[in-house]
């Protein structure tokens, strides 16, 4: 059976980002209902040396956008990391989803064996084949940052649960 790189990437990433918006909206509503300054939640961290909620959302967006673009052999649009509010974070996620929706199966299918160049800092790059890049780099990174965003909200008393993280069944 041939792997569809399109079906294995775009819908999966879109679902994670869609679920992310659901718990960001719950976080915003929780802050408003409880008289909490929303910037407290947006800037919250699980631990002092970890990134805040805003950065978790930005990174999940970046990895999704750049990951699919690299598989397609195109450059992803850059996004400034300037979001400081729930509406701005939600808009960033919406822009990322809009970008992912532009991809077609033809752009991604047969990219499982394609060499993908991955910048790893200080002018260095690492080469990976498409399938390992998607499954061992893109997915774990997106899931880590979406999970951490969820955990930050939950840790701060936002009433999100596993169903919010997993999303509605299709």
Whether the Cβ atoms of residue 83 and residue 54 lie closer than 8 Å to each other: yes
pLDDT of residue 93: 93
Question: Digits of tens for pLDDT over the chain (170 positions)?
Answer: 567 999 999 999 999 999 999 999 999 999 999 999 999 999 999 999 999 999 999 999 999 999 999 999 999 999 999 999 999 999 999 999 999 999 999 999 999 999 999 888 888 999 999 999 999 999 999 999 999 999 999 999 999 999 999 988 77
At the topology level of CATH, where does 5-102+127-166 sit? Answer: 1.20.120
pLDDT of residue 1: 54
Of 45, 49, 56, residue with least CA distance to 83: 56
**What does pTM read for this prediction?**
0.94
Per domain, the residue ranges of the chain are 5-102+127-166
pLDDT of residue 71: 97
Q: What is the C-alpha separation between 37 and 113, in angstroms, rounded?
A: 48
Q: Which DSSP string corresponds to 50-93?
A: SPPHHHHHHHHHHHHHHHHHHHHTSPPPP------SHHHHHHHH
Helix (H) or strand (E) holding 94: helix 86-100
Of 113, 138, 104, residue with least CA distance to 3: 113
Q: What is the C-alpha separation between 6 and 28, in angstroms, rounded?
A: 33
C-alpha distances in angstroms, 41 versus 38, 160, 169?
5, 14, 28
Nearest 5°: phi and psi at 166?
A: -80, -30
């Amino acid at each position: 059976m041939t792997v569809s790189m399109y079906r294995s990437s775009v819908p999966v990433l879109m679902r994670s980002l869609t679920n992310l918006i659901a718990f960001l909206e719950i976080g915003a509503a929780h802050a408003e209902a409880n008289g909490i300054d929303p910037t407290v939640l947006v800037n919250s961290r699980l631990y002092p040396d970890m990134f805040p909620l805003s950065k978790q959302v930005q990174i999940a967006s970046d990895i999704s956008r750049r990951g699919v673009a690299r598989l397609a052999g195109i450059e992803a649009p850059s996004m400034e990391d300037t979001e400081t509010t729930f509406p701005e974070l939600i808009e960033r996620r919406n822009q990322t989803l809009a970008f992912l929706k532009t991809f077609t199966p033809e752009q991604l299918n047969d990219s499982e064996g394609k060499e993908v160049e991955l910048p790893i800092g200080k002018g260095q790059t690492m080469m990976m084949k498409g399938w390992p890049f998607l499954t061992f780099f893109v997915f774990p990174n997106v899931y880590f940052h979406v999970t951490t965003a969820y955990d930050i909200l939950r840790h701060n008393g936002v009433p999100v649960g596993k169903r919010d993280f997993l999303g509605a069944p299709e």
